[in-house]
Structure 1
């Protein structure tokens, strides 16, 4: 029987938050891994995740098809994880998440490789969010160029080094109050990054249905208000939760989009929060979910205390307030 060492998997965007976990999951299964990133000199932290010579980085930019084609040379599987939350110069939502996804799909088709494309549950061509529109455009382009491609739509991700739970915990350390955009009523189904990485590795291994769209969410549907309370409880911070109407939040985001660190908020992110981000009933019925892949998802309460302790006033071993 052929070993996974005979299979070369090219991971686009493998140095990011989800990417690091995907590379680790693939390395544990003994695949050879080529990580295609814009700045390979900054991806050295990935090599210790596998055996000597198992993981290597190459330069590729989804806006330049020739670089993507070069990265796909001799590959058996393509995994596209590239996504951006904010635009900068030529790195626009459409260029990266729309046309860029199509470029990867065409390169995979050219070498006869399988493809796993990671999108987002919020992907919607009719969404007021340009991020969500571009995600939907990327899905359409991938399905058109390579109909057998598997599309994975995770909900918002959490885990060590995330820009979600860590962001609000950091904000709680700096501010006496936390804003709840739209009153904090938006429903999310946060997924642990390790579970989603396992799903991506399963898809690369061929354990998913060709051409299917999977929606990956955690075990709980929570409102933003509930998530904030969980984060504050773990960080042992007593902060006021202030409701912020969408209109006012959109106005403030015009300035906050230029703010540093956890204070940054863009108009497009406000638009995203107008819609719930949960697994659909159709996906559940068709078993196109984490549970359908045999993965038992972990909750925020089970995972976040392992890394959010650093935001407690006196550190990891602080006795929590009564």
Structure 2
């Protein structure tokens, strides 16, 4: 991969920045595509001078996408949203844009394309998010049949949007909401393992045209994940069950906020398990050994402990 050019869409995001780091470490030149190139300048020190180039491109604009992939040997698409806002709809960003990127990659003669989707992508889902993810995969396959699709479960690591969000809530709230009772299952996967999977997919010819579901070595219920988080931040908070119907009513109001903490569509996603399907190709098939959640959580959740990261080991109420 030394000296080759990779275009990474969504490069400044949680997963993207880790993939950029791994590509740069292998001597790859990177076009780091994002919505705000100025704010993405933190990516530049991940490589040598001039190796990582932040650039702005609207993934809904075919001409801008074509310019971003021109001359690239590899393309990785990580663009996704958790809620809709203005022009950033599920249909535009997750259903249509992946096909635009895949077509541009095919037209440019790109050697390999990796599209990062999500476990739960389903054309028949009641969730608009899940339906758009399935539509995006189909569009990628139609335009670039040799693309590799990666479907991670929830991704954890420093700066994640799952454990950090609930840890922050535990700092200010007397309890934590357990939507639907917390029996739904997840298979959290470490962000560095997702990055390694993307690199492996680019390097392995046998990965072309395949779909891989990425999960960690263990499955947990939603309740168990919150309990693990509370142990790490050394706080005691009761977990209060919120029925799906009540959570949906609350989400209908929260959706009106500029950055909604919860939406009705996310409630629909919580009604299904988010784990690797039986018989699916996995991290192991890409040569990646999944990292246990319990090893990584202490490396960043300790910042949420009462008194700060270097507070004593005594559990606090």
Query: What's the TM-score once normalised by structure 2's chain length?
Result: 0.96
Report how far residue 256 of structure 1 moved. 2.1
Report how far residue 208 of structure 1 moved. 4.7
Residue number in structure 2 paired with 1:302: 295
Residue number in structure 2 paired with 1:143: 141
Alignment deviations for residues 238-284 of structure 1 (CA, whole Å, 9 cap, x no partner):
001001111111111111234587x811111111101100001121x
Residue number in structure 2 paired with 1:85: 82
Alignment deviations for residues 131-184 of structure 1 (CA, whole Å, 9 cap, x no partner):
110000000010111110000000010110111000000000010100111100
Q: Residues 46 and 55 of structure 1 are in contact (CA less than 8 Å); yes or no, is this contact kept in structure 2?
A: yes
1:279 is aligned to 2:268:
no
2:304 and 2:258 map into 1 onto residues whose CA distance is 18
2:210 and 2:236 map into 1 onto residues whose CA distance is 44
1:110 is aligned to 2:76:
no
Residue number in structure 2 paired with 1:180: 178
1:156 is aligned to 2:154:
yes
For residues 1-322 of structure 1, the aligned pairs below 5 Å read 4-113=1-110, 114-206=112-204, 208-259=206-257, 264-283=261-280, 288-321=281-314
Report how far residue 67 of structure 1 moved. 0.1
1:207 and 1:233 map into 2 onto residues whose CA distance is 43
Q: Residues 155 and 188 of structure 2 are in contact (CA less than 8 Å); yes or no, is this contact kept in structure 1?
A: yes
Q: Residues 235 and 312 of structure 1 are in contact (CA less than 8 Å); yes or no, is this contact kept in structure 2?
A: yes
Alignment deviations for residues 97-117 of structure 1 (CA, whole Å, 9 cap, x no partner):
110000000000001112100
1:319 and 1:260 map into 2 onto residues whose CA distance is 38
Alignment deviations for residues 55-87 of structure 1 (CA, whole Å, 9 cap, x no partner):
002221111000000001111111000000011
1:264 and 1:155 map into 2 onto residues whose CA distance is 19
Q: Residues 150 and 208 of structure 1 are in contact (CA less than 8 Å); yes or no, is this contact kept in structure 2?
A: no
1:42 and 1:242 map into 2 onto residues whose CA distance is 38
1:301 and 1:316 map into 2 onto residues whose CA distance is 17
Q: Residues 208 and 293 of structure 1 are in contact (CA less than 8 Å); yes or no, is this contact kept in structure 2?
A: no
Moved more, 195-204 or 216-225: 195-204
Q: Give structure 1 stretches of 5+ with no counterpart.
A: none
2:85 and 2:145 map into 1 onto residues whose CA distance is 31
Query: CA separation of 1:209/1:22 partners in 2, compared to 1, >3 Å: closer, same or farther?
Result: same
Query: CA separation of 1:310/1:208 partners in 2, compared to 1, >3 Å: closer, same or farther?
Result: farther
Q: Residues 189 and 215 of structure 2 are in contact (CA less than 8 Å); yes or no, is this contact kept in structure 1?
A: yes
